[in-house]
Amino acid sequence: MINSGKILLFAALMVNFSIQSNATLLEAELDKGLIEVGESVYLRVKLPGDLSGVEPLKYPSVPGLKIEYACMQQSLQIINGRSSSGVEFLFMVSALKKGRYQIPGFVFKRGEDTLQSRGVTLAVSSERSRSAGTGIDVVPSVELSAAAAYVGQPVVMRYYIRTSGIKATMRYFEHLPDTKGFVIKRIDDLDSGTSQNRQSEYEKIRVASYALIPAGPGAYQVGGGDAVFSMENPMAGSRPGNFFGFNFPDFFQTKTLNFETRPLAILPLPRQGMPADFHGDIGRFTLRVEYTNDPVKIYEEKRVTVTLEGSGNLITMTRPLLEKEMDGLKIISEEGESSIKIDGWDITGSRKFIYTLIPEKPGSIDAGGVKFSFFDPTKGRYETIRSRNVSFSAKSDGSRSGFDFDREGDNRIDFNPLYFVFIALALAGTIFFVILWERKRLAIVSESGPIDEEAYNDRRKEERCDYQADLAGCLQRGDGDFFLKVAEKWIDQSLKELDAPAPDRIESSLNKIRDEIHRFKFGGGKIALPDMQRIYEEITAVREH
């Protein structure tokens, strides 16, 4: 019995040693070891090699913390001249309560091997009660609509301040928010922006709202920036020593508040089920097509209005497609009106697109349906919506029939002499109006110099363009050639929008960006996506200032 007991103990020790020998400790680290209640931080677990055969077995659960899977990304390390590649699993850790927490390891399985990460420690402090360095009760904060999103899926970013008895008004951003890797657009917000908290006796005020459109997958830190505020303390008059209840030196104060950054994980769009005509649109949309069914004459216009409504990336939305291309049918497309706003934590609204169909020969016209493909993040799948076919008839221009010669069997030509009278009168009228116009034009030129009508029309057309939205669309599609053209026009528009001659620093900054655009346009090379993103951000920054 004694020998058998020793054998069993030895066998148990060997099994335990075998399990531990198969478990490989993986590196794990937090981006920050100390955060505040309400903040989030990335926890990174690094796996060497590729992802083949990797299965997650266990995610830890820690009371007082919320742990969610964020994304996976490639990693590359170079140590002493040697490089090693692998992958990183990113988890979002959000602090719910104050305390010091030990987060156990994450367990994965690869084939017969068990992979476990090291444990990490996270300290969580209470929320700040005062803004650092301001000496007054104003706390800046940044909130996101989501901690993770897909490429192209808009994320709402709101800037708030919390005050207690202080009126604060934001004047401008001294340092702009950090949004590298995103298309950013300041946008109208239906939220009133003000809320009360009786327990804490503070007022939460929204000062700015942005829509962020991610251009690529990865882990990012967004937000931040320094903003200058004018602050008025209504309780200043209650302090002793004031003159008739007023304290003039301290009544108004100018303070710079530093906003925090927030982690944001961007996931790649799934390849499975992606339609061939998918162009990066993401959200939930409905389609409406409007036009009249009455016939038109050849070379007359048939206008078709396409409206897309819903929530999603309305800012960088691509144009829907007409399914068919017909010989003898010319199609011209243009963007119509748009209405985009923030409703709750969603980007909602509508976009209109105008299609002008011009038949060049008589007959039945069938341009097919209007089709639009997008990815629905709530369902996790691709959707395609389609309208009924756009069809109508085109007939010959009846006004031309009176000018046709009628050839009889005896080869005689029958025509009406009144046609020649009408033609002569029309020519005489045309010549008369041309002479009047030339006299008027010469009079204008003699007084104020020549008028460049083409330049004037182009300028009016440019004033109606939203080049920022066009650039955002180029970024999403990776269209470098069109990006360079639009970016240069946006610079011209920025200079024209100034009420006075541009300050030297602004004009110098825009000209420097223009020179770089010219190097890409005329240097024979192709502009890469990171350079497009950087130029977009530089122009946006100059316009913000």
Segments of 31-125 assigned E as strands: 34-36, 40-48, 54-58, 65-79, 82-95, 99-103, 107-110, 113-117, 120-125
388 and 489, same domain (yes or no): no
- State the average pLDDT over residues 23-30: 76
* Comparison of pLDDT for 332 and 408, the residue scoring more: 332
Show the 3-state SS of 443-506.
HHHHHHCCCCHHHHHHHHHHHCCCHHHHHHHHHHHCCHHHHHHHHHHHHHHHHHHCCCCCCHHH
Q: Please choose, from the candidates 70, 49, 213, 50, the residue with its C-alpha nearest in 3D space to the C-alpha of residue 148.
A: 70
Instruction: Confirm whether 183 is domain-assigned.
Output: yes
What local confidence, expressed as pLDDT, does residue 372 receive?
Answer: 94
317 and 227, same domain (yes or no): no
Instruction: Confirm whether 38 is domain-assigned.
Output: yes
Q: Is 380 exposed, middle or buried (0-12, 13-18, 19+ CB in 10 A)?
A: exposed
- State the average pLDDT over residues 81-92: 70
Predicted confidence (pLDDT) at residue 37 exceeds the cutoff of 70: yes
* Domain C-terminal end among 267, 295, 316: 267
| Structural contact between residues 385 and 158, judged by C-beta atoms closer than 8 angstroms | no
Beta-bridged to residue 335, according to DSSP, are 353
- pTM of the entire predicted model: 0.56
Structure letter (DSSP) for residue 189: B
Both tokens of 39, joined, read 């903040």
Residue with tokens 């996976």: 72
Predicted confidence (pLDDT) at residue 294 exceeds the cutoff of 80: yes
Mean pLDDT, the chain, whole residue set: 75
* Domain C-terminal end among 399, 430, 464: 399
- State the average pLDDT over residues 456-480: 67
Query: What pairing do the DSSP bridges indicate for beta strands 40-48 and 82-95?
Result: antiparallel
Question: How crowded is residue 509: how many other Cβ atoms within 10 Å of its Cβ?
Answer: 18
490 and 532, same domain (yes or no): yes
Q: Let me know how long the chain is.
A: 545
As for how many domains the chain has, the answer is 5
Q: What are phi and psi of 171, to 5 degrees?
A: -95, -50
261 and 355, same domain (yes or no): no
424 and 390, same domain (yes or no): no
* Comparison of pLDDT for 55 and 481, the residue scoring more: 481
Q: Which CATH number characterizes residue 317's domain?
A: 2.60.40
- State the average pLDDT over residues 30-37: 84
- State the average pLDDT over residues 63-85: 68
What local confidence, expressed as pLDDT, does residue 76 receive?
Answer: 55
Judged by average pLDDT, the poorest of 386-400, 429-443, 466-480, 512-526 is 429-443
Query: What pairing do the DSSP bridges indicate for beta strands 167-175 and 194-197?
Result: unpaired
- State the average pLDDT over residues 217-223: 88
233 and 178, same domain (yes or no): yes
* Domain C-terminal end among 205, 238, 267: 267
Judged by average pLDDT, the poorest of 81-85, 423-427, 515-519 is 81-85
What local confidence, expressed as pLDDT, does residue 405 receive?
Answer: 41
Predicted confidence (pLDDT) at residue 227 exceeds the cutoff of 60: yes
382 and 431, same domain (yes or no): no
Judged by average pLDDT, the poorest of 14-23, 151-160, 255-264, 351-360 is 14-23
The confidence band for 374, taking pLDDT boundaries of 50, 70 and 90, is very high
- Residues 6 or more apart in contact with residue 180 via CB below 8 angstroms: 220, 533, 537
What local confidence, expressed as pLDDT, does residue 499 receive?
Answer: 56
Determine the structural domain holding residue 101 and report its residue range: 18-125
- State the average pLDDT over residues 328-346: 87
Instruction: Confirm whether 44 is domain-assigned.
Output: yes
Distance CA 81, CA 77 (A): 10
Highest mean pLDDT among 365-374, 433-442, 517-526: 365-374
Residue burial 240-257, b: 16+ Cβ < 10 Å; e: rest:
eeeeeeeeeeeeebebeb
Distance CA 356, CA 330 (A): 8
Predicted confidence (pLDDT) at residue 400 exceeds the cutoff of 80: no
Predicted confidence (pLDDT) at residue 248 exceeds the cutoff of 60: no
Distance of CA 534 to the CA centre of its chain: 15
Predicted confidence (pLDDT) at residue 241 exceeds the cutoff of 70: no
443 and 385, same domain (yes or no): no
197's enclosing H/E stretch is strand 194-197
Judged by average pLDDT, the poorest of 51-60, 276-285, 455-464 is 455-464
- State the average pLDDT over residues 201-211: 81
What local confidence, expressed as pLDDT, does residue 406 receive?
Answer: 41
What local confidence, expressed as pLDDT, does residue 424 receive?
Answer: 76
The confidence band for 193, taking pLDDT boundaries of 50, 70 and 90, is low
338 and 254, same domain (yes or no): no
What local confidence, expressed as pLDDT, does residue 454 receive?
Answer: 53
The confidence band for 445, taking pLDDT boundaries of 50, 70 and 90, is very low
Both tokens of 48, joined, read 């060497």
pLDDT tens for 507-537 read 778 888 887 887 777 655 678 787 888 888 8
- Residues 6 or more apart in contact with residue 470 via CB below 8 angstroms: 482, 486
The confidence band for 441, taking pLDDT boundaries of 50, 70 and 90, is low
% pLDDT > 70, the chain: 70
Instruction: Confirm whether 42 is domain-assigned.
Output: yes
What local confidence, expressed as pLDDT, does residue 282 receive?
Answer: 93
378 and 316, same domain (yes or no): yes
Instruction: Confirm whether 259 is domain-assigned.
Output: yes
- State the average pLDDT over residues 127-136: 47
